[in-house]
Amino acid sequence: MKALITGSAGFVGQTLRRHLEAQGDTVVPTDRTVGGPDITDREALIRFWAEAKADVVYHLAAQSHVPTSWADPIGTLRVNVEGTQNVIDASRGAGVSRVIVITSAEVYGKVTPDQLPIDEFASLRPVSPYAASKVAADAVALQAHLGYDQDVIRLRAFNHIGPGQSDQFVAAGLAGRIAQAEASGGTEIAVGNLSPRRDFTDVRDIVRAYRLVAERGTAGDVYNVCTGVDRSIAELADGLLAHARHPITLVPDEELQRDVDIPVMCGDSTKLRNDTSWAPEIDFATSLGDILDDARTRLHG
């Protein structure tokens, strides 16, 4: 299988590329940070796709940082919606057999307790500009299937964790501060809101799901990618501290609070499991240990 990955230089893109190559796939990486076409440049994208002749496209490229979306909602919409439209149109023009569009569990937004765990039929109630952009991207992908009979599948991935993630995100950010405290002999680290509960999945399990959907998923469908287990940010922090080299205390810091925190986000991946036989393999403690080891490596080189 010849696979084109948008956002191939990012956290998930690099992990997906390694997984696909390990499975024997030929990978065409593209990312604007390493000389590939910007997904908002429609004509450049069309030319690149025509030359690539891929069988499947994994569309990962996005502005994916929620706080950034509050600061720049228009830029976020442009990348995430216009960019997705361009990728889908270029794929259709190039005769790509299947397009996998990665949206986000953020599309579900504020859910009521009776809706948990969230399945794919839950209402979409976006809270942040990022979430709104992903709702629109989801709709663009669905329209391509309904309007053009294009083979497009949407994946709503819940919270990713794993080695290689930007420290803009909670697990990697906490791990980075722990690694710095270890190196300096510090005994305290600043933290934001620890009460939100999230459904964390290791990125290495997530990319396995992506490839399985490319092989076995149903055209036009949508799948949640998640474990079905919600954990608080406090549990995540405590899990990282369990791997620390000396005792460290968490100290609340108002400057680290997000503008909006959805209290609970937990998904139901029954459809994904039934259609593809996927199941997460990397346990939470292992993920956290790997994340902290990665933070130490980045700090010390």
User: What is the pTM (predicted TM-score) of this model?
Assistant: 0.95
Question: Per residue in 114-163, pLDDT tens?
Answer: 999 999 999 999 999 999 999 999 999 999 999 999 999 999 999 999 99
Sequence-distant (6+) residues with CB within 8 A of 173 are 167
- Dihedral Cα 218, 144, 82, 99, nearest 10 deg: 30
- Give me the residue spans of the domains in the chain: 2-161+201-228+266-280
Does position 2 have pLDDT exceeding 90, yes or no? yes
- The amino acid that residue 267 corresponds to is G
**Class for the domain spanning 2-161+201-228+266-280:** alpha beta
C-alpha span between 298 and 203 (Å, rounded): 18
Spell out the residues 6+ positions from residue 147 whose beta carbon is closer than 8 angstroms to its own. none
The mean pLDDT value for 48-76 works out to: 97
Q: What is the mean pLDDT of the chain?
A: 96
For residue 17, pLDDT beyond 90: yes
**pLDDT at residue 35, rounded to an integer:** 82
Listed residue (46, 50, 5) closest to 25, CA to CA: 5
Is residue 35 within 8 A of residue 44, CB to CB? The reply is: no
- Confidence tier at 259 by pLDDT (50, 70, 90): low
Question: What does the pLDDT read at residue 256?
Answer: 80
